[in-house]
Structure 1
Amino acid sequence: MTMTDTPRQSPERQVGTIVATRVQELYAGATSEHPGFSARARANLAQLRQLDTADPVSDVRAWNLTLSSIPGELQGAADTPNAVERAVHSALVLYAIHAQSAKVPAHKPKKRVGQAVREVAITQKPDDPTDAAIIARFHTCAKASSYNQLVRHLRGLITLLRSSDIALDYGLLAQDLYRAQQPDGMRIVRLRWGRSFHNISPQQITSAESENANVR
């Protein structure tokens, strides 16, 4: 590798970058003082909320709203969506749900799902956050046996975060959604979520990310 070469991001990290960039664009547009930009972004968010969270091909509007963000080299070649396409699509739909009538920005860099859930849990049960009402929904998400189940349960969890004005990092969520589709991926996602819920250091939280980083 020469001095001018830059390491190529794994597909998982590219998914995170794509989604983080897109949600920041949507937020900037929706809060813009330019009426045209604001109206377009708000219309896009409204349409995103109407899409099937798990399926990027059931509605033609997804072509422009979610799939257009994905570069050609990450697009699938088979007749079904690949892990990148599903993860980007699901994360953007979940963001739109989170952003609906939100009092604070729905996206906050470096805040994983576990940390966001803990913030809600502390408000619900300060003496023992692990016994808070939101924990049951969190556990249901973590125990999902299929991708469709995972995103369906996440949709409900996201509405609870929105109700409590708690944001999360949608780039990291997209990476988790990508990882969940890989062999043994949910085990890694559960590890990430558990560590972030219990406030283990960021270095430990990211330790699982290097495992099988380039799988597709």
Structure 2
Amino acid sequence: MTARRRPLYWEDFTPGALRAGAELAALRRGIGQEPGNAPDMWRFHRVRISEYEAQTGAPSSTLAAEHTALTLFAVHQQSQRTSMHRAKNGLGSALRTLRQSDQYRNNPEALDTRVNALATAEEVGELAHHLRGLVTQLRGISQPFDYTALFYDVLRWHTPEARDQVRRRWGAQYYDWADTERTDGA
């Protein structure tokens, strides 16, 4: 029997809880910091890293992915009354909702340009930079998305083949390529 992983921070987050504001502020202090270098964030990390990484302080792609998701969640959740983590609502789908909002209704190409910049990022730091701007806009329309999926997407971003798969999934969600009408498999 395998042990169930601990819930990630955003999976257990309760908006309006007594310490929620202080916790989110501590997480936001990690913006621009290297993963693991923001002591205020240490208590919120839930991922497991290898014994080697723990003993040597070697960079961990898992820790980097969680750090990115934690800081973005803290930005997104700020001043929101409901959780900005919604399981099974992909980032591309959330961005499609933003594209259809009043903010972009007359000029969706402006958001397309920002999403394209996100999708063409090569490094996780560049990806996080583009995500931060888009998450701020999603906060403006109170549009949640799946932060657990984002965590795994950022983790996959370290590998070119997996990065391409993430890009295709985001594109399919953003432009709604899914043919939900078909049932014949064609």
TM-score (norm 1): 0.71
Rounded to whole Å, the distance in 2 between the matches of 1:84 and 1:140 is 23
The equivalent of 2:47 in structure 1 is: 70
The equivalent of 1:176 in structure 2 is: 153
- The RMSD of aligned alpha carbons is 2.8
The equivalent of 1:50 in structure 2 is: 29
Rate the CA distance shift 1:158–1:145 in 2: closer, same or farther, 3 A: same
Rounded to whole Å, the distance in 2 between the matches of 1:97 and 1:125 is 21
Kindly indicate whether residue 83 of structure 2 is the aligned counterpart of residue 105 of structure 1: yes
The equivalent of 1:88 in structure 2 is: 66
**Share of identical aligned residues, percent?**
29
CA distances 1:101-132 after superposition (whole Å, capped 9, x unpaired): 12542111111111011101112455885x2x
Rounded to whole Å, the distance in 1 between the matches of 2:66 and 2:179 is 24
SS for the counterpart of 1:31 is: coil
SS for the counterpart of 2:68 is: helix
Q: How does 1:120-139 map to 2 (within 5 A)?
A: 120-123=98-101, 124-126=103-105, 129=108, 131=109, 133-139=110-116
Q: Select the structure that is richer in helix.
A: 1
Rounded to whole Å, the distance in 2 between the matches of 1:173 and 1:158 is 12
Q: Which runs of 5+ in 1 are unaligned?
A: 33-37, 204-216
The equivalent of 1:25 in structure 2 is: 12
The equivalent of 1:207 in structure 2 is: none
Rate the CA distance shift 1:151–1:142 in 2: closer, same or farther, 3 A: same
Residues 53 and 94 of structure 1 are in contact (CA less than 8 Å); yes or no, is this contact kept in structure 2?
A: no
Q: Number of residue pairs matched? A: 178
Residues 107 and 169 of structure 1 are in contact (CA less than 8 Å); yes or no, is this contact kept in structure 2?
A: yes
Report the CA distance between 1:58 and its aligned residue: 2.5
CA distances 1:73-121 after superposition (whole Å, capped 9, x unpaired): 5883554321111111110111010000125421111111110111011
Q: Which amino acid aligns with 2:129?
A: R
Kindly indicate whether residue 126 of structure 2 is the aligned counterpart of residue 154 of structure 1: no
Rounded to whole Å, the distance in 2 between the matches of 1:199 and 1:141 is 18
Rounded to whole Å, the distance in 1 between the matches of 2:90 and 2:179 is 10
Q: Which runs of 5+ in 2 are unaligned?
A: 181-186
SS for the counterpart of 1:61 is: helix
Report the CA distance between 1:183 and its aligned residue: 3.6
SS for the counterpart of 2:100 is: helix
Rate the CA distance shift 1:74–1:45 in 2: closer, same or farther, 3 A: farther
Rate the CA distance shift 1:72–1:186 in 2: closer, same or farther, 3 A: closer
Residues 103 and 165 of structure 1 are in contact (CA less than 8 Å); yes or no, is this contact kept in structure 2?
A: no
